[in-house]
Amino acid sequence: MTETSPVLHSDGPEYQHRTVLLDEAVDALNLEGERANGTYIDGTFGRGGHSRLILSRLGPQGRLIAFDKDPQAIATAETVNDPRFTIVHDSFATMSDALAARGVQQVDGVLLDLGISSPQVDDASRGFSFRQDGPLDMRMDTTRGMSAAEWLAIATEQQLEKVIRDYGEERFAFQIAKAIVARRAIEPISTTREFAAIVANAVKTREKGKDPATRTFQAVRIFINKELEDLEAGLIAAYSVLAPGARMSVISFHSLEDRMVKQFLASKAKVEQPDRRLPIRAVDLPQPLMKLIHKTKPSDEEVGANPRARSAVLRVAERLGDPA
């Protein structure tokens, strides 16, 4: 999910958060003129960096509806005192139904900031990071679903291997899965340090500058939170509610996400052209549904100020069609 900016958004004395590609992602929504009084979606509120900037650019009739699964993010969002703002405690994958329930059929822009936020990573009690010891939870929404520790206790060796290989792109997935099953036969795996140590002992060679547990932690987190399933459903939902001329602005942080976003937008921007020998008028030729606007990465300056921004990619596309 999220974030970098020239401004630090604080969640208290312990955690500070920089919103990644803050200005670039919001600029891409093209909040100018009459569009400033439109309705917009922030699919991942996080700690509110993008939402606050969108609100600062909205007109008096504008509206912003934000989503987040994290109860801590919801608590932060509830402090936003602005009648134009609504927060929904759910995944952005549910936006079609959530909008329909609020009488909204189309929106003028959607921003999705994928992944996890710095406060989530830095809070040891959430279990996202191997750098601090804490309970092995990894749920973005701690009010529902199975924790990472609970899943590791019941998953088969084949399931473990598949998740670690597919979602973590880890070449030692087989060895790691085997080590997990062997360890849990002796005692439960309940903390992040225990889990990281098991992975480290199973990984034969290490990538320079990267902890051997990085890919496995990513894989388990993605699986536990159904991140790729939510992304697939969310992209479809976002496209379905975009008005003609509205834009989708999506920030991803790892290759699996970015590949899905790239392929989805490309599929809407391309059309199968019929055989040129067929007698079809130009006006009757199939037209693309979206126009690709641009792809952006953080500047060297931003990465220097916030190393977590280095893998971010922003992709922007605009829905085409007849406004009538």
Is 49 annotated as ligand-binding?
A: yes
* Residue 242 CA from chain centroid, whole number: 19
* 285 burial via Cβ count (<10 Å: 0-12, 13-18, 19+): exposed
Q: Tokens at residue 66, please? A: 């934000």
Is 253 annotated as ligand-binding?
A: no
Q: Return the DSSP state at 192.
A: H
3-state helix, strand, coil in the chain (%, to 5): 45, 15, 40
Contact 314, 250 (CB under 8 A): yes
Angle between helices 192-202 and 214-224 (to 10 degrees): 130
Q: Tokens at residue 20, please? A: 């990644």
Q: Tokens at residue 109, please? A: 């822009």
Residue 232: how many other CB atoms lie within 10 Å: 14
Angle between helices 227-241 and 255-269 (to 10 degrees): 30
Is 120 annotated as ligand-binding?
A: yes
Longest CA–CA separation in the chain, Å = 72
Is 50 annotated as ligand-binding?
A: yes
Contact 217, 129 (CB under 8 A): yes
Binding residues for S-adenosyl-L-methionine: 48-50, 68, 92, 113, 120
Binding residues: 48-50, 68, 92, 113, 120
